[in-house]
């Protein structure tokens, strides 16, 4: 019997380098509502943190209505501009295709409609069995997102590999009872990720093939 039956991937920073498009959308939204912007590099650490929190931290605003306007403006802009600068990381498409004997799913902080838009724009939709966003679901590191995907496929958490680029992916995967792999080419450094105890550290996406084959 194969060790794994399901592989769950984070999206931003794991399958797709979307930092520039996310930063552009964040700056657009802040500019429309608050008339200012921030450095792109200031946005990157907040990717995956949730939009309301991100806008509050970057602008210092506490006005819920203005932050809600930023969130809406971000979603509108990003949906139309999610593939301007974003690129699939090397070897992702080929590796996903080679994993065809496993169930393959995306589980991301993005809303499902937005995640599917990105996955489709990047040419990856055909290699995935399911795309799950955080629609009214607690954000990682809460394990609910992963548990929903696992239940969808009727899989055993112990036979599920979670792949992500932040400590939230690792912690949520551990809490869900999964095997975890942290990629080192995304948002967090290898040193930061290692301190959270993932089962595997992955420097290049195709290295996952050896893990699932083992």
Strands across the sheet containing 6-9: 130-132, 103-107, 6-9, 160-164, 179-183, 200-202
Q: Is 208 exposed, middle or buried (0-12, 13-18, 19+ CB in 10 A)?
A: buried
Nearest-angstrom CA–CA distance, 25 and 18: 11
The question of whether 12 is a catalytic residue gets the answer yes
Catalytic residue among 12, 17, 165, 169: 12
The Cα angle at residue 91 between residues 130 and 12, in degrees rounded to 5? 50
Nearest-angstrom CA–CA distance, 34 and 70: 9
Catalytic residue among 10, 21, 165, 169: 10
Whether the ω angle into residue 108 lies within 30 degrees of 0, i.e. cis, is: no
Residue spans of beta strands (DSSP E) within the chain: 6-9, 16-17, 87-88, 103-107, 130-132, 160-164, 179-183, 200-202
The question of whether 129 is a catalytic residue gets the answer no
Q: Return the active site residues.
A: 10, 12
């Amino acid at each position: 019997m194969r060790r794994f039956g399901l592989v769950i991937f984070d999206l931003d920073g794991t399958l797709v380098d979307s930092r520039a498009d996310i930063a552009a959308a964040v700056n657009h939204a802040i500019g429309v509502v608050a008339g200012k912007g921030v450095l792109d590099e200031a946005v990157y650490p907040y990717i995956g943190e949730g939009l309301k929190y991100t806008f509050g931290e970057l602008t210092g605003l506490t006005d819920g209505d203005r932050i809600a306007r930023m969130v809406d403006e971000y979603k509108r802009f990003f949906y139309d501009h999610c593939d301007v600068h974003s690129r699939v990381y090397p070897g992702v498409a080929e590796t996903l295709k080679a994993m065809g004997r496993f169930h393959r799913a995306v589980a991301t902080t993005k809303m499902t409609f937005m995640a599917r838009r990105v996955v489709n724009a990047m040419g990856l939709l055909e290699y995935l069995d399911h795309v799950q966003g955080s629609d009214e679901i607690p954000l990682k590191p809460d394990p609910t997102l992963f548990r929903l995907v696992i239940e969808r496929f009727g899989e055993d958490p112990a036979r599920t590999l979670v792949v992500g680029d932040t400590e939230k992916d690792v912690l949520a995967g551990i809490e869900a009872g999964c095997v975890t792999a942290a990629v080192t080419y995304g948002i967090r450094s290898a040193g930061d990720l290692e301190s959270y105890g993932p089962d595997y550290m992955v420097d290049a996406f195709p290295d996952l093939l050896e893990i699932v084959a083992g």
